[in-house]
């Protein structure tokens, strides 16, 4: 009996010892698993954080992508014919406009006073919308809207309640605040009709009331004209209408190049100290474009009108530091037409460094430019640079993405 009790005691001790050992092992297993699980969760958290950081970096990269990249890619995909056409802002030809814009891949149309006659607000809007219909790259629609003696759209009371006042009138009545308000009002009217180019402000310095250009200017000295230009450009920058400084390098008190070849014999230092100042002010304010006159500036280039002179365009690019759109004055003006044939004028302007040609003779000028690109006398690199400037301006105005 005693042996039996002893045996049972031993068995009980073994069971208890085994149970304790089993429980201890379970606890050890739990302790070993916990760090492993924690490590997995940490790794997962790190992966999630890394993924989020990568996503945020990618998003930031996409949001800071230079909009000009899309312009470069678009230009790479365009044909020579499409690119050359973008460099022409031509006088609106009437009934052939839609067909010609397709045939020549036009950059835009410039409307004159007769193009607004007998139009109503509805008919003008419809006409411009028809011109833009199905355009992969929308057309510039432009009109000279300086105010005063040069205005197109506001001469029709069906389109604008009263003609746009001249800068001098506005300034005399309400100062610089009036100039800013007038600029924004004009821009709103133009935008409402689908017009992106108003071809103003006039940046010429003219203080002689008998000078050809005087009535179109602000009528102040270089400092006052610079303030005028700065005010207009900054006001237009808030709109979808482009700013255009004209007529580089400054008319001064010279004669009218619409009717004759004009030679400007002023020394370059006089131009730098006076006439260049409003253009510098406009460039600093963020102007979109500069229009070049047909005057022969003997101190820069005595052998060619400014509009087809590489030396004059070089001043704009390298001395004044402007990299926006440079355009010619109307190529049909006598100051140029008596100097060079219309067929060669467009090519000469582009080879000089202009980006946009204002012309009525696009039907002969565009084929000549295409030929020059094909034979290498006008480089495709220069062509592409000008097209990129044109498209960047259209992008800035919300015409393309």
Helix, strand, or coil (residue 93): coil
> What per-residue confidence (pLDDT) applies to 65?
58
Q: How far apart, in Å, are the Cα atoms of 146 and each of 159, 183, 191, 204, 211?
A: 16, 9, 15, 12, 17
| Regions of the chain with pLDDT less than 70 | 1-65, 254-260
Neighbours of 24 (CB within 10 A): 10
Burial class (CB in 10 A: 0-12, 13-18, 19+), 262: buried
H helix intervals, 2-94: 2-63, 68-77, 80-85
State residue 13's pLDDT score. Answer: 46
What's the confidence (pLDDT) of residue 277? Answer: 98
pLDDT at 53 (0 to 100): 39
CA dihedral 44→45→51→55, nearest 10 degrees, is: 150
Please state the domain extents for the chain. 1-63, 80-396
* Whole-number pLDDT of residue 51: 38
Residue 3, pLDDT score: 43
Per CATH, domain 80-396 is 3.40.50.300 = no
Note the pLDDT of residue 260: 62
> Angle CA(74)–CA(79)–CA(81) in degrees, nearest 5?
125
Q: Token pair for residue 184?
A: 């924004």
Please give the Cα distance from 53 to 47 (Å, whole number): 10
Structure-token pair, residue 216: 């179109």
Whether a cis peptide bond, with omega within 30° of 0, leads into 201 is yes
């Amino acid at each position: 009996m005693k042996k039996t009790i002893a045996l049972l005691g031993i068995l009980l001790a073994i069971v208890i010892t085994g149970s304790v050992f089993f429980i201890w092992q379970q606890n050890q297993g739990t302790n070993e698993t916990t760090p492993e699980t924690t490590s997995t969760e940490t790794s997962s958290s790190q992966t999630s954080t890394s993924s989020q950081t990568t996503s945020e970096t990618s998003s930031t990269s996409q949001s800071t992508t230079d909009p000009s990249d899309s312009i470069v890619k678009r230009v790479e995909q365009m044909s020579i014919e499409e690119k050359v056409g973008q460099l022409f802002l031509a006088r609106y030809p009437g009934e052939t406009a839609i067909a010609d814009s397709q045939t020549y891949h036009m950059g835009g149309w410039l409307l004159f006073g007769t193009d607004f006659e007998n139009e109503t607000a509805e008919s003008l809007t419809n006409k411009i919308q028809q011109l833009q219909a199905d355009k992969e790259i929308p057309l510039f629609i432009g009109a000279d809207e300086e105010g005063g003696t040069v205005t197109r759209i506001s001469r029709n009371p069906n389109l604008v309640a009263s003609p746009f006042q001249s800068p001098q009138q506005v300034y005399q009545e309400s100062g610089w605040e009036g100039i800013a308000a007038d600029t924004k009002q004009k821009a709103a009217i133009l935008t409402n009709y689908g017009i992106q180019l108003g071809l103003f402000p006039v940046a010429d310095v003219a203080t002689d009331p008998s000078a050809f250009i005087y009535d179109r200017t602000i009528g102040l000295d270089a400092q006052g004209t610079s303030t005028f230009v700065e005010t207009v450009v900054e006001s237009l920058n808030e709109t979808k209408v482009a700013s255009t400084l004209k007529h580089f390098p400054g008319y001064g008190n010279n004669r009218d190049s619409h009717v004759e070849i004009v030679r400007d014999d002023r020394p370059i230092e006089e131009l730098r100290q006076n006439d260049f100042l409003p253009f510098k002010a406009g460039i600093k304010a963020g102007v979109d474009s500069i229009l070049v006159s047909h005057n022969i500036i003997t101190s820069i280039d005595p052998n060619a009108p400014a509009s087809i002179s590489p030396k004059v365009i070089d001043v704009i690019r390298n001395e004044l530091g402007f990299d926006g759109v440079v355009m010619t004055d109307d190529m049909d003006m006598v100051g140029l037409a008596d100097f060079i044939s219309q067929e060669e004028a467009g090519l000469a302007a582009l080879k000089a460094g202009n980006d946009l040609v204002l012309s009525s003779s696009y039907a002969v000028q565009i084929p000549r430019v295409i030929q020059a690109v094909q034979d290498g006398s006008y480089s495709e690199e220069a062509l592409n640079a000008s097209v990129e400037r044109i498209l960047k301006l259209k992008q800035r105005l919300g015409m393309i993405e």
